[in-house]
Amino acid sequence: MFYERASLSELSIALRNNTLDLFAYINHVCDRVETVDKEIHALLPERNRRKRLLSEANALINKYPLSHQRPQLFGVLVGVKDLFNVEGMLTKAGSKLPAEVFTGPEASLVTALKAAGALILGKTHTTEFAYFTPAPTRNPVNPEHTPGGSSSGSAAAVAAGFVPLALGTQTIASIIRPAAYCGIIGFKPSYGRMAMDGVFPFAQSVDQAGFFTQDISGATLASSVLVKNWNSDIRTNAKPRLFLPADAYLAQADYDAFNRFYEQADILNESGFEITQLPFLKDIRTLNHMHQTLIAAEFYLNHKKLYKEYGDLYSEHSKALYERGSKVSKDELSSYRLQLKQARADVKKLMSSEGVDAWICPAATSAAPRGLSSTGSPLMSLPWTWFGLPSITIPAGHSSHDLPLGLQIVGGQGRDERLLQDAAEIFHTFSYGSL
């Protein structure tokens, strides 16, 4: 087990106040990376990583010599999924394609992190083009198991304590699932509330950025830097009204994840949370098909020029997705986009009429599968990504094989601030904390 505690809220305070020496912190992390990343492969290799970071740290201290002037993330090391452009670092999108095809301006989320004082530890591994072909990353909790995908390296880097914060993206389940598998927190805000410029696209209709932390307070801190128009003053003292999307959707989870989820629901009910079962997502197979067809079509459009020149460098998974997308007509794609727009309006209306503060459900269909040939099923997150709703997974106990399980909490569109407050209350009710 290679898990190590790394609280974003605690580290940010310690670095700003000089109770943790920045150079000592960098050297500790670099020592750990040099030892542990040989086993889990969370980060892309970088020559002279330590030298670069110590130089950047020296410049940061010279810029902010007084602790009270230091920005929120002063000196905090962060990981960046290898879909985001970072000035001075190559982007490969987890592929064999030459880096120059991904060249472009730095992602504004990365620039925002730097402006808040963060230092980029490095790029983190992703599955190829954020799809199904696995990265080399292993799960820090148990390296014999997948960390999930597609944000494999970001989740693993946070779980291993290399960084207390890492950027990811989600087109189906690429933040929520790996966070659950690695026993950490993954937060995907509402569609459009985190900028996607400078990020190599998969399917723009549903692509969403997000991040990983180990602590809820750290997720709130990161949101204040990364989420558009974040309102830290929103407060509520009322317990959230929680709803279970009963029937066909939940039946996609395996026996262990399904039963453990209901155990978590019972704990919440006994702790005073109002929980209601609501028949919803009955036709989950149709929704799954629509989502997967739409992303295939948009993947095809995004890769059309690249594939003509570099198609032989694509994995079999990516080739199959490209071919599937090529068979979707313009009219069919337009129809799916219209249905997506209508679905988002319908779920907003439903949540308002039924008084749904948040949905709760398993974060994944199972605990992390053994082996690295698959990154696991994305089906527990697919509908929430389709609807563009904010979702978060928090650690919620362990499977019968002692692997982490996550509870997924899904809020209303644009109600991300309330979702994090609700998640914090639920997290503390469980009292699991870190692994």
374 annotated active-site:
no
373 annotated active-site:
no
Rounded Cα–Cα distance for residues 392 and 405 (Å)? 13
Measure CA 389 to chain center.
14
Question: Which residue from 4, 29, 360, 395 is spatially nearest to 216, judged by alpha carbons?
Answer: 395
Rounded Cα–Cα distance for residues 11 and 323 (Å)? 46
Determine contact, residues 365/180, Cβ cutoff 8 Å: no
Residue from 9, 12, 81, 152 carrying the catalytic annotation: 81
Residue from 12, 152, 154, 174 carrying the catalytic annotation: 174
**Hunting for tokens 């020559």 — which residue is that?**
47
H helical segments located in 355-415? 382-387
The phi and psi torsions of 405 (rounded to 5 degrees) equal: -120, 150
Q: Record the tokens describing residue 50, joined without a space.
A: 């330590």
Rounded Cα–Cα distance for residues 142 and 370 (Å)? 9
Question: Which residue from 151, 202, 124 is spatially nearest to 375, judged by alpha carbons?
Answer: 151
H helical segments located in 199-283? 216-226, 255-270
Q: Record the tokens describing residue 322, joined without a space.
A: 């490209």
Q: Record the tokens describing residue 1, joined without a space.
A: 């087990």
Q: How many residues belong to the chain? A: 435
Question: Which residue from 3, 274, 302, 50 is spatially nearest to 161, judged by alpha carbons?
Answer: 3
Residue from 108, 150, 152, 154 carrying the catalytic annotation: 150
DSSP assigned state of 164: S
Q: Record the tokens describing residue 164, joined without a space.
A: 């207390």
174 annotated active-site:
yes
> Is 407 in a helix, a strand, or coil?
strand
Q: Record the tokens describing residue 208, joined without a space.
A: 């969403």
DSSP assigned state of 252: G
Residues annotated catalytic, as ranges: 81, 150, 174
